[in-house]
A and B are shown apart, each in its own frame.
Chain A
């Protein structure tokens, strides 16, 4: 069951990643070129997924949008895992005052509904792809930190760590060479779910107009237009959302599969 899900998830994400990487080769049109023949054309042989209100090819915009959405998800999670690893490892390994300080900080961070914090910061720094990656990363590391801390707390007392200590290994060596590699499994699961979460946040943010700015296409900002074309052009609502849904499903499948594999 686990490996089937893993395979299925990898297949979905693999296809989307390939499309994203090879966007200029596979997309039928330039994502910003305008077809004079018509705005809001329904799906047809000429435009497989139809065109938007400016006459741009929806399929090409979704393919280019995959680039933005996937890379924001990956990099944001990279940042959040890095922060979570450092805080969690330090907290779990040293314990005591440092531990309680870091954990109180985590508690406080968890009180802020992420979306409020993200929106507040983007409002001040200004929305750009770079800012969004960093802000999502900075506001989503708490889960990883708690996870790593819990893993390290239980690993710390195991014999092989005691043995390592007995032969005089330094703290940093124990943390980097032994504790983190052994605790990485659950973190991978968490990170995979994190990518899905980051993509959802990015799409919501862009949908509100405070994320990726047009004309750069992202799955969220393509959907902005669907508010005004509701009932007129169903394809503008259905396809970008379906792309988000499929990607999130893909990452969730991978996470579930990994979880089963790890045990």
Chain B
């Protein structure tokens, strides 16, 4: 197990380098000078001022020097200052990160808490009305744009039924609430964002769980278990389920880019101050330092998610550890 982990950890070094090179190039090779892009909306800025700013940001140096400087700063978590308000980029990201992580982790928990039992139920009732109806629902959920579902749910819960607040993460008088009311308030605000960001993943995971379970139920060891005279419950929950649920671990890793990408859209719909909305603001303001920092950050988060999922998979399934090199 340890050798497997070490091997995987060594493998992320070239990945990290690749991620930084690519993020750097995507932003730098785009036509137009970064400082010009930034200030193109400002009519008052003079040519000398632009030169001065370029020198300050090091944009006058050759590309590889710029990259190495950027990488050096990056290793100290220094992503430079935001063009829009002059604050350090790292500081801006750190204050926004917890909300996004909280929502994404809650969504993941939500997805697995419901999608796994759901998929298993569908597999056990394969071909029945329940299974077919659920297949159709998942197909629809999979095809619907999430932001549209968000709008429809907002219409239903916040306007027609008046049950939930429409945006933000807390009420205005949040600070004066006792702790239980704070929790309730946060819950009410988080409910729709978490629901919306889980819908796509929910459809995917439950279908995946269903097909895994069906496959597991048709394996020879299930016949053996039945032939031994084990109860149906033991056969299903001990023999089939344990094998069917293993590959799901990797799905956690795979669903991270989708969740993070989705954050951009639903955070701006629900006015949630997370890194998704920060990125959206950076993109509309062409705040290059912030854009680069976030692109690198989400790529690294994705990579770590995959790594953790792979290691977890190897931990629960010894075949992976010893199988491939």
Contacts and interface: CB of A to CB of B under 8 A. Distances in A.
A42 B83 CA distance: 44
A109 interface: yes
A124 B37 contact: yes
Interface in B273-298: 279-280, 282-284, 286, 288, 291-292, 294-295, 298
Given A226-B151, A248-B143, A119 B280 contact: yes
B283 A210 contact: yes
Contacts of A200: 145
Given A230-B154, A244-B145, 17 more contacts: A108-B18, A110-B257, A112-B302, A113-B256, A113-B257, A115-B261, A116-B264, A116-B295, A116-B298, A119-B264, A119-B280, A122-B283, A203-B147, A204-B145, A210-B284, A237-B151, A244-B148
Contacts of A119: 264, 279-280, 283
Interface stretch (B23-31, B91-99, B229-237, B310-318): B23-31
A83 to B, nearest CB: 15
A116 B18 contact: no
B14 interface: yes
B250 to A, nearest CB: 13
Contacts of A120: 26-27, 283, 291-292, 295
20 contacts: A104-B18, A111-B15, A115-B265, A116-B261, A117-B295, A119-B279, A120-B292, A120-B295, A124-B288, A125-B30, A207-B265, A208-B268, A223-B147, A230-B155, A237-B148, A237-B152, A241-B148, A245-B144, A245-B148, A252-B143
Contacts of B257: 110-114
Contacts of A105: 18
Interface of B: 14-15, 18-19, 22-23, 26-27, 30-32, 37, 139-140, 142-148, 151-152, 154-155, 159-160, 256-258, 260-262, 264-265, 268-269, 279-280, 282-284, 286, 288, 291-292, 294-295, 298-300, 302-303, 306
B151 A230 contact: yes
A234 B265 contact: no
A107 B14 CA distance: 11
A231 B166 CA distance: 12
Given A117-B295, A122-B283, A223-B151, A204 B265 contact: yes
Contacts of B279: 116, 119
Nearest to B291: A120
B261 A113 contact: yes
Nearest to A247: B143
Contacts of A209: 284
Given A119-B280, A252-B143, A124 B27 contact: yes
A115 B37 CA distance: 21
A196 to B, nearest CB: 7
A123 interface: yes
A64 B244 CA distance: 47
Nearest to A204: B265
Q: Which of A109, A123, A234, A241 counts the most B-chain CB atoms under 10 A from its CB?
A: A123
A249 B143 contact: yes
A48 interface: no
B265 A241 contact: no
B40 to A, nearest CB: 10
Contact of B298 (A113, A226, A227, A245): A113
Nearest to A118: B261
B284 A196 contact: no
Contact of A234 (B155, B264, B302): B155
B286 A123 contact: yes
B159 A231 contact: yes
A121 interface: yes
B147 A207 contact: yes
A134 to B, nearest CB: 12
B164 to A, nearest CB: 13
A124 B288 CA distance: 8
B280 A208 contact: yes
Contacts of A117: 26, 295
A230 to B, nearest CB: 6
Contacts of B152: 237-238, 241
Contacts of B31: 125
A120 B278 CA distance: 12
A112 B148 contact: no
Contacts of B37: 124
A113 B263 CA distance: 11
Contacts of B269: 227
B180 to A, nearest CB: 31
Contacts of B143: 196, 245, 248-249, 252
